[in-house]
Amino acid sequence: MRKQYRKCEKRVQRLYDKWWPLMALPQIEVTLRFHVGWANVNGNEDHDIVMTTSCLYEYREALIEVYLPKASTLKPKDLEHTFVHELCHVINAPIRNLVEDGVALETATENMAQALLAVYRA
């Protein structure tokens, strides 16, 4: 299992190396943190969470946490989509507190990720 996790870590790092320069925001420091356990939501394991992103946009810092038990099961295209989605959260971080509807912000983030992936693949 650890071999599969190490392989996934390398895949995510390659995705970061590919996508972060394309986002044209190198002044934001993004840290990747890998977890060998499941995400913890309100004290319970959540087996559906692949990645989470938290940002301190005023300090130009972001943390993308990758939950390897789930991430390592994804197809390369799905892992890439998820990673680009998380990078879009970094871009949207400054407006997070201004948007009252979390679903609207998540939808806008997903729309941005799909648009970026479509343009890149075209």
Mean pLDDT of 27-54: 91
At 35, the pLDDT band (50, 70, 90 cuts) reads very high
Cβ atoms within 10 Å of 99's Cβ, excluding its own:
13
Q: Which amino acid is located at 49 in the chain?
A: I
**Mean pLDDT estimate for the chain:** 91
Q: For the chain, give the percent of residues with pLDDT over 70.
A: 99
**CATH fold label, 2-121:** Zincin-like (3.30.2010)
CA atoms within 13 A on the CB side of 18: 14
- Give the separation between CA 12 and CA 60, rounded to whole angstroms: 21
Antiparallel, parallel or unpaired: β 61-67 and 29-35: parallel
Dihedral in degrees, nearest 10, Cα atoms 53, 89, 48, 100: 100
Question: Which CA distances in Å does 52 have to 3, 32, 91, 93, 122?
Answer: 22, 10, 14, 13, 28
Q: For the chain, give the percent of residues with pLDDT over 90.
A: 62
- How do residues 62-107 score in pLDDT, each as one tens digit? 999 999 999 999 999 999 999 999 999 999 888 887 787 788 888 9
Residue spans per domain, the chain:
2-121
pTM strictly above 0.85? yes
User: What is the model's pLDDT at position 104?
Assistant: 86
User: What is the model's pLDDT at position 101?
Assistant: 77
Asked if the model's pLDDT at residue 23 lies above 70, the reply is yes
